[in-house]
Amino acid sequence: MYENLIGKVSNKVKNAVERGAVKKFAEAIGDAHPIYVDEETGKNSRYGRNIAPATFPRVFDFGEISGLVWPERGLIHGQQSYHYERPLFVGETVYCYTKVKDCYERDGGSGKMTFIVYENNGEDELGNTIFTSELVMIITEKVRKEMNV
């Protein structure tokens, strides 16, 4: 179903780590650590500035992969992991893109399930990796039939 997309990469998209967005995100996830919002705490930290929560890249735009169509409903978020080379700094620009790493099927209790593994990447302005995030999305047989694929 999605096997032909393995290896495809989106265009890079410019994203900003905005102070207000970091504050709202930290509040939304219930993490009130001052390293995210208090400028004095940031200045006195080992980073010399504020950083964003580890899951903050969830709000970034990673571009689109031509031919990759997600269902409008019924998509299951199976797993996600992050790997950081360094923290995201408040105020910096991050260039993000995504890549389809794998696609496979497994039998489940209600029929075949399609697993799509993709990797989100964030780089600084010099092209150095800041983070990678691997995600597994699951599409059930019922949803596939509704999509006519």
Domains of the chain in start order, with CATH, are 3-16+61-147 (3.10.129.10)
Residue 78 sits at φ, ψ, to 5 deg, of -85, -45
**What is the average per-residue pLDDT within 85-108?**
95
- 65-69, 113-117, 121-125, 135-139, range with the lowest pLDDT: 65-69
Q: What is the pTM of this model?
A: 0.87
- CB atoms near residue 60 (< 10 Å): 21
